[in-house]
Structure 1
Amino acid sequence: MTEAPGLRERKRQRTHEAIQDAATRLFLESGFRAVGVDQIAAAAEVSKRTLFKYFPSKEDLVVGSFADHADEPARMVLARTAGTSPLDALREYFLEGLAQRDPITGLDDRPESLAFIAMVLETPSLQAKVLLYQANAEEALADALRQVEGDVETDTARLAACQIYAMLRALAEDNRRHLTEGLSAEQRYPDAVRSAERAFELLNGGLGELYG
């Protein structure tokens, strides 16, 4: 049974959320470059020193939400039920995300989510930070895949993780593109599911011998 977080941890989580919520609101209102760290600290009612304890850089205030999800595929592989292959676990994870309109799948058509993604894509320093998180996530997935059989070659697991993440990114990018072109998440959903099913079918054809 999971132990409930203590008072200190709950307070820490509330502070983390308050800072990130304030930053997101200010960035969406005024733009990433126009907002200073001092403004964010004031809006979150914390000191600048406290802010940097939670978020090492201004960019982390934006892409910290990516970090929260970065190791999800690795955790899905390690926590999969008996008899479920890694690829099947990841397929179920992504399809569930589509059904829930999880932003990580690109199928979130809330205006603030679309504006958030647009801000990231037009800011080079944010794109660089996202790439760093993605690299860390790929390595976490590679580590999880290495544990599947216990003796899978390091290079093989690494290449597999890169292929899986490239596919997940491509699916999410396709969904976001359709949403920005005018489709609603509801309209895009059936095709998003078909694309995901086809993508995992293709991936299983190449990696199925090891992880399918």
Structure 2
Amino acid sequence: MAEELSLRERKKIQTRRTLWRTAAELFLERGYDQVSVAEVALAAEVSKMTVFNYMSSKEDLVLGPMREHIGDAARAVRDRRPGESVVAAFRRDYMAALNAYDASVGMSDHPYVLQIHRLIQETPVLLVRAHEYVRQAQMLLAEELAASVEGPDVELAPVVAAQLMSVRYVVHEHNHRRLFAGESAEEILPGAVALAERAFNLVEQGLGDFGTLPAGAGSAHAAGAGAE
């Protein structure tokens, strides 16, 4: 960071991390629904009020780190270089995170990170909140895009945001499927990079003739369907 954090800020960060770590240990051991906020507070040696001073909800005891990344996409676009397109800026930022094995793009194979991701997937209330954070990230990106263009392009900002965030989401899920299959982050990185590059090329160049059937394929398919 450009400026050294004050002692107060450092203590706040440490307390937040302690709460996340303590809650995660309890949730992974006993299950999310079987642990109360009061029990997390007791284990972390703070009051229940202190927990809610740092977390807006019980869900944030798990999803707090994810929440901190909600503005990443919008920031990447806002901070783009002179002459750099929106897609190029988003792509550059995302690929850097991918190559850094960042957990925010599904590239961490640390057992703890994978355990937390599985907990989210297996806990409906956490999964709903995680999807809400993805939606918020897309909305922030759309707002940033709308603020950076003029005329009719403003109306396309939500479309562009949806396309860019879809690349992020699909590659993220692709990474986790392979990680949960037992592959290491190092093993899946080349495939993840290749998939992301192809996806960004598609967004940048437009769908064009993607998926166009060869001449005659449509009629042949129809004939085959009619014969069933």
TM-score (ref. length: structure 1): 0.90
Aligned length: 207
Which one-letter code corresponds to 2:21 in the other structure? Answer: D
* In the alignment, structure 1 residue 133 sits paired with structure 2 residue 133: yes
Which one-letter code corresponds to 2:55 in the other structure? Answer: F
Which residue pairs with 1:65 in the alignment? 65
Which one-letter code corresponds to 2:53 in the other structure? Answer: K
In 1, Cα distance between the equivalents of 2:105 and 2:14? 26
CA deviation vs aligned residue, 1:117-175 (integer Å, no higher than 9, x gap): 11101111001111221121111101111122244544311121112112210110011
In 1, Cα distance between the equivalents of 2:93 and 2:28? 29
Q: Any residues of structure 2 matched to 1:81-100 within 5 Å, and which?
A: 81-100=81-100
Q: What displacement does 1:6 show?
A: 2.8
Indicate conservation of the 8 Å contact 2:16/2:54, yes or no. yes
Q: What displacement does 1:56 show?
A: 2.2
Q: Which runs of 5+ in 2 are unaligned?
A: 208-228
Q: Of the two structures, which has the highest relative contact order with CA contacts closer than 8 Å and spacing of 6 or more?
A: 1
Q: Which runs of 5+ in 1 are unaligned?
A: 208-212
Q: What displacement does 1:2 show?
A: 4.3
Q: What displacement does 1:29 show?
A: 2.4
* In the alignment, structure 1 residue 116 sits paired with structure 2 residue 129: no
Which residue pairs with 1:210 in the alignment? none
Larger radius of gyration: 2
- Please tell me the root mean square deviation across aligned C-alpha atoms, in Å: 1.8
Which residue pairs with 2:163 in the alignment? 163
Which residue pairs with 1:11 in the alignment? 11
More moved, 114-123 vs 153-162: 153-162
More moved, 4-13 vs 131-140: 4-13
CA deviation vs aligned residue, 1:174-196 (integer Å, no higher than 9, x gap): 11101111211111111111001
* In the alignment, structure 1 residue 148 sits paired with structure 2 residue 160: no
TM-score (ref. length: structure 2): 0.84
**Pair 1:180–1:95, CA change in 2 (3 A):** same
More moved, 29-38 vs 63-72: 29-38
4+ aligned runs moved over 6 Å, structure 1: none
Which one-letter code corresponds to 2:4 in the other structure? Answer: A
Aligned-partner SS, 2:113: helix
In 1, Cα distance between the equivalents of 2:179 and 2:3? 40
Which residue pairs with 2:179 in the alignment? 179
CA deviation vs aligned residue, 1:47-96 (integer Å, no higher than 9, x gap): 00110111122111111111101110100111111122111111111111
In 2, Cα distance between the equivalents of 1:21 and 1:100? 23
In 2, Cα distance between the equivalents of 1:82 and 1:116? 39
Indicate conservation of the 8 Å contact 2:76/2:89, yes or no. yes
Identity of aligned residues (%): 38
